Structure 1
């Protein structure tokens, strides 16, 4: 009978990828379509993890894109792209990057496609968001959390 080594018995399964919430607004239509198209773009993104069951997690990636022409908002689009992932056999140290970086990396292309479709259907030029380095964002988030925790640790001594 084969012996299973717990160190190599890691499992990762994508169970479902879905769009959880969508919002698209063009508050200054139809006037915005008569303006010279020199847009500025603001992108905000966030992630949220919800444990559904043992080894099953819902990871949500929220992207909010605001495009302005001058001071007028051309459009605002928000997409919450989510996925259900079965993740087992990873250490606690490995789970952070899996949920905070690896899963959002999987979800991002789906969210980018939804945003591109919404913007085009809203009457605007196609918008293709640049790739996002979720590994770097996750590391930055860890560093910020450590920096915020460090002053608290010093006050306890």
Structure 2
């Protein structure tokens, strides 16, 4: 009988060391809509030019609790006049326990933003819809590709810092 108790306790100890990951909460951290040239801009007949930028971020809140964020900015212009500018930050609280250190950064930089992005898309589409202008929906984003680009940029910057050579803007290393 005592052998069964020891096996049961050993299984419980292994479970407490098993990696776990879960989304605890999502929320809109920031949402801003500006229409600085309304109502005059409504008289324009041209189609607007659309510019979109996306950034990810995050921070540790507690030992196994993290906040991840995805921020998107949409700027639409007609003849250099802003039709509207929408910026939103969607955030989430994630619990990540017993995750190996080398897997934590990709988890927070790829998986978390991928989970948050549908909420961000919906919130931005709703804000734009309330302007009474035609709908604009963000396309899908490959957060793994963005993560890899960010790593490559960081490695390039580190190489430049290590060499002691400062390149002027637009110049490339040969």
TM score, norm. by length of structure 2: 0.83
Query: 1:53 is paired with a residue of what secondary structure?
Result: coil
Q: CA deviation at 1:153?
A: 3.3
Pairing of 1:63-74 with structure 2 (within 5 A) = 63-74=72-83
Q: Residue 152 of structure 1: CA displacement?
A: 3.0
Instruction: Report which of the two structures shows the higher radius of gyration computed on alpha carbons.
Output: 2
Deviation at 1:126, TM superposition (A): 0.7
Q: Any unmatched runs of 5+ in structure 1?
A: none
Measure, in 2, the Cα distance between the counterparts of 1:99 and 1:145.
17
**Residues 17-36 of structure 1 correspond to what in structure 2 (within 5 A)?**
17-36=26-45
Which structure's relative contact order is higher, taking Cα pairs within 8 Å and 6+ residues apart? 1
1:15-54, Cα deviation, whole Å (9 max, x unpaired): 1000011100011111121211411111112122111000
Structure with the largest fraction of strand: 1
| Aligned partner (choices 11, 14, 17) of residue 4 of structure 1 | 14
Q: Give TM-score scaled by structure 1 length.
A: 0.91
Aligned equivalents of 2:28, 2:15: Cα separation in 1: 37
- Tell me, in whole angstroms, the C-alpha distance in 2 between the residues paired with 1:96 and 1:77: 28
Over the residues paired in the alignment, what is the CA RMSD in angstroms? 1.6
Q: CA deviation at 1:5?
A: 7.0
Q: How many angstroms does 1:154 deviate by? A: 4.2
